[in-house]
Amino acid sequence: MASLCAQKCIPSIYGRFGHVRSAVRAASSLVAGEPKGPTVKTQIPGPRSKELLQELNQIQQAGSIQLFADYDRSIGNYLADVDGNVMLDVYTQISSMPLGYNHPHLLQMLTENPHNIKTIVNRPALGVFPGADWNSKLKNVLLGIAPAGLDQITTMACGSCSNENAYKAIFMAYRQKQRKGDFTPEEISSCMINQAPGSPDLSILSFHGAFHGRTMGVLSTTHSKAIHKLDVPAFDWPIAPFPIYRYPLEDNKAENAAEDKRCLAAVEQLFEDYAKKGRPVAGIVVEPIQAEGGDNEGSPEFFQGLQKVARKNGASLLIDEVQTGGGPTGKMWCHEHFNLDGPPDVVTFSKKMLIGGFYHTAELKPPQAYRIFNTWMGDPGKLVLLEGVLEVIKRDNLLEQVKRSGDRLLLGLKQLQNEYPALISRARGRGTFLAVTCSSTKLRDDLVGRLKTKGIQSGGCGEDSIRLRPALVFQEHHAEIFLDRLRQVLSETK
Ligand code: PSZ
Residue 438 structural domain? 2-14+40-59+79-108+397-491
The yes-or-no answer on residue 89 being catalytic is: no
99 and 240 in a common domain: no
Expressed in angstroms and rounded, the spacing between residue 187 Cα and the centre of ligand 1 is: 34
159 and 47 in a common domain: no
Distance CA 183, CA 179 (A): 8
Query: 460 in helix, strand or coil?
Result: strand
Distance CA 70, CA 109 (A): 22
Q: Which atom of ligand 1 is nearest to the CA of 161?
A: 24
Over residues 384-389, mean pLDDT: 98
**Count of CB atoms within 10 A of residue 265's CB?**
14
Residues 453, 446: contact at Cβ < 8 Å?
no
Whether 23 maps to a domain, the answer reads no
Q: What is the pLDDT of residue 27?
A: 53
Whether 66 maps to a domain, the answer reads no
Q: What is the pLDDT of residue 226?
A: 97
Distance CA 283, CA 329 (A): 25
Ligand 1 residue neighbourhood (C-beta within 6 Å): 94, 158-160, 163, 211-214, 287, 291-292, 320, 322-323, 350
Tell which of 328, 343, 378 closes a domain. Answer: 378
Over residues 134-143, mean pLDDT: 98
Whether 386 maps to a domain, the answer reads no
Question: pLDDT tens digits for 172-221?
Answer: 999 999 998 899 999 999 999 999 999 999 999 999 999 999 999 999 99
- Spot the catalytic one: 137, 331, 351, 454: 351
471 and 364 in a common domain: no
Q: What is the pLDDT of residue 2?
A: 36
Residues 318, 64: contact at Cβ < 8 Å?
no
Residues 6+ apart with CB under 8 A from 193: none
Over residues 161-167, mean pLDDT: 98
State the CATH number of the domain containing residue 101. Answer: 3.90.1150.10
101 and 136 in a common domain: no
Best mutation site among 211, 215, 286, 335 for ligand 1, i.e. most ligand atoms within 8 A of its Cβ?
211
Expressed in angstroms and rounded, the spacing between residue 159 Cα and the centre of ligand 1 is: 6
Whether 435 maps to a domain, the answer reads yes
Residues 351, 385: contact at Cβ < 8 Å?
no
Expressed in angstroms and rounded, the spacing between residue 323 Cα and the centre of ligand 1 is: 7
Pairing type for strands 424-430 and 433-438 reads antiparallel
441 and 297 in a common domain: no
418 and 359 in a common domain: no
Q: Using 50, 70 and 90 to split pLDDT, how confident is the model at 3?
A: very low
Expressed in angstroms and rounded, the spacing between residue 292 Cα and the centre of ligand 1 is: 8
Pairing type for strands 356-360 and 296-297 reads unpaired
Q: What is the pLDDT of residue 160?
A: 98
Which residue, 378, 409, 380, is CA-closest to 159? Answer: 378
244 and 186 in a common domain: yes
Query: 271 in helix, strand or coil?
Result: helix
Query: Where are the extended beta strands (E) located within 361-403?
Result: none
% the chain with pLDDT above 90:
94
401 and 372 in a common domain: no
Residues 87, 485: contact at Cβ < 8 Å?
no
Q: Within 13 A of 440's CA, how many CA atoms are on the CB side?
A: 4
The yes-or-no answer on residue 351 being catalytic is: yes
Expressed in angstroms and rounded, the spacing between residue 350 Cα and the centre of ligand 1 is: 9
- Average pLDDT of the chain to the nearest whole number: 94
Task: Reply yes or no on whether the pLDDT at 10 is more than 50.
Answer: no
The yes-or-no answer on residue 180 being catalytic is: no
Distance CA 240, CA 138 (A): 35
224 and 362 in a common domain: yes
470 and 350 in a common domain: no
Whether 19 maps to a domain, the answer reads no
Question: pLDDT tens digits for 66-115?
Answer: 999 999 999 999 999 999 999 999 999 999 999 999 999 999 999 999 99
Tell which of 378, 408, 443 closes a domain. Answer: 378
Task: Reply yes or no on whether the pLDDT at 393 is more than 50.
Answer: yes
Task: Reply yes or no on whether the pLDDT at 15 is more than 70.
Answer: no
Best mutation site among 162, 350, 382 for ligand 1, i.e. most ligand atoms within 8 A of its Cβ?
350
Q: Using 50, 70 and 90 to split pLDDT, how confident is the model at 14?
A: very low
230 and 156 in a common domain: yes
Over residues 406-417, mean pLDDT: 98
Question: pLDDT tens digits for 262-305?
Answer: 999 999 999 999 999 999 999 999 999 999 999 999 999 999 99
Question: pLDDT tens digits for 210-262?
Answer: 999 999 999 999 999 999 999 999 999 999 999 999 999 999 999 999 999 99
- Spot the catalytic one: 171, 211, 271, 349: 211
Q: Which residue has the higher pLDDT, 320 or 9?
A: 320
The yes-or-no answer on residue 324 being catalytic is: no
Q: Which atom of ligand 1 is nearest to the CA of 210?
A: 15
Over residues 481-485, mean pLDDT: 98
Whether 354 maps to a domain, the answer reads yes
State the CATH number of the domain containing residue 160. Answer: 3.40.640.10
Tell which of 349, 378, 407 closes a domain. Answer: 378
Q: What is the pLDDT of residue 494?
A: 87
Best mutation site among 93, 322, 348 for ligand 1, i.e. most ligand atoms within 8 A of its Cβ?
322
Whether 21 maps to a domain, the answer reads no
Query: How many domains does one find in the chain?
Result: 2
Distance CA 41, CA 49 (A): 13
Expressed in angstroms and rounded, the spacing between residue 288 Cα and the centre of ligand 1 is: 14
Whether 71 maps to a domain, the answer reads no
474 and 350 in a common domain: no
